[in-house]
């Protein structure tokens, strides 16, 4: 865990990492610290906290090319760490619903079904240093795993080569299947 913290701190110091220029969705309770800053007029200029246009329980925060309002400029740590949103707890794991071949799910029929899938963002240095099974445990250890379903699909280009489909790997797909179906290099 200490090594992970060091990797994150170094990344944030060098590039701003995942705490800069962020656009996140969060459940209503998670948004409370952000909303409090907004109500008190302490949200930096250009930062926005808005209610999702299609779901009143989901809120969105944008830092607009700046560091997150909770990123400590000196320590590079999170001043909201204990109450940070699910997406901050799980990054570099992201999720969305995609059509999958049922054979990946252990079903013999070859029809496609839309199912929640988890992806690993390989731009994050942790993705190269942490065993893949640890990322699955992060998802299992969330304070409220139902938040992933409540927040719904995240908007990212999962077919981009920077993402590894953790769900397929966990379901024991063979390396050639992963390479062919996800366009990854073997």
pLDDT above 90 covers a percentage of the chain that reads 24
Residue 66 clears pLDDT 60, i.e. is over it:
yes
Q: Alpha-carbon distance 30 to 61, whole Å?
A: 11
Please report, for the chain, the start and end positions of each structural domain, with discontinuous segments joined by +.
2-83, 92-182
Q: Alpha-carbon distance 34 to 3, whole Å?
A: 29
Q: Alpha-carbon distance 147 to 166, whole Å?
A: 19
Residue 42 clears pLDDT 90, i.e. is over it:
yes
Give the model confidence (pLDDT) of 80-127 as tens digits: 999 999 888 888 988 887 765 555 445 555 556 667 788 888 888 988
Confidence of residue 180 (pLDDT cuts 50, 70, 90): very low
pTM comes to 0.75
Confidence of residue 185 (pLDDT cuts 50, 70, 90): very low
Residue 155: its pLDDT value, please? 67
Q: Alpha-carbon distance 62 to 69, whole Å?
A: 10
Q: For the chain, what's the residue count?
A: 186
- For the ranges 3-7, 106-110, 111-115, 160-164, the lowest mean pLDDT is seen at 106-110
Q: Alpha-carbon distance 27 to 3, whole Å?
A: 29
Residue 158: its pLDDT value, please? 65
For strands 48-51 and 23-27, give the pairing.
unpaired
> Residue range 181-186: average pLDDT?
40
DSSP per residue over 27-60, as a string?
Answer: EHHHHHHHHHHHHTT-SPTT-EEEE-SS-TTEEE
Q: Alpha-carbon distance 87 to 148, whole Å?
A: 9
């Amino acid at each position: 865990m200490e090594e992970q913290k060091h990797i994150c701190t170094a990344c944030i110091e060098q590039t701003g990492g995942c705490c800069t220029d962020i656009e996140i969705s969060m459940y209503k309770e998670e948004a409370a610290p952000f909303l409090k800053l907004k109500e008190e007029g302490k949200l930096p200029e250009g930062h926005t906290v808005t209610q999702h246009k299609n779901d009143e329980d989901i809120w969105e925060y944008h830092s607009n090319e700046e560091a997150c309002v909770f990123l400590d400029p000196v320590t590079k740590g999170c001043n909201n760490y204990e109450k940070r949103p699910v997406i901050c707890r799980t990054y570099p794991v992201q999720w969305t619903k995609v059509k999958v071949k049922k054979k990946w799910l252990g079903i013999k029929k070859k029809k496609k079904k839309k199912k929640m899938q988890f992806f690993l963002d390989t731009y994050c240095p942790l993705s190269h240093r942490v065993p893949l099974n640890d990322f699955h445990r992060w998802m299992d250890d969330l304070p409220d795993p139902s938040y992933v379903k409540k927040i719904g699909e995240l908007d990212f280009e999962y077919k981009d080569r920077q993402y590894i489909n953790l769900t397929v790997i966990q379901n024991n797909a063979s390396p050639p299947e992963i390479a062919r179906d996800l366009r990854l290099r073997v």
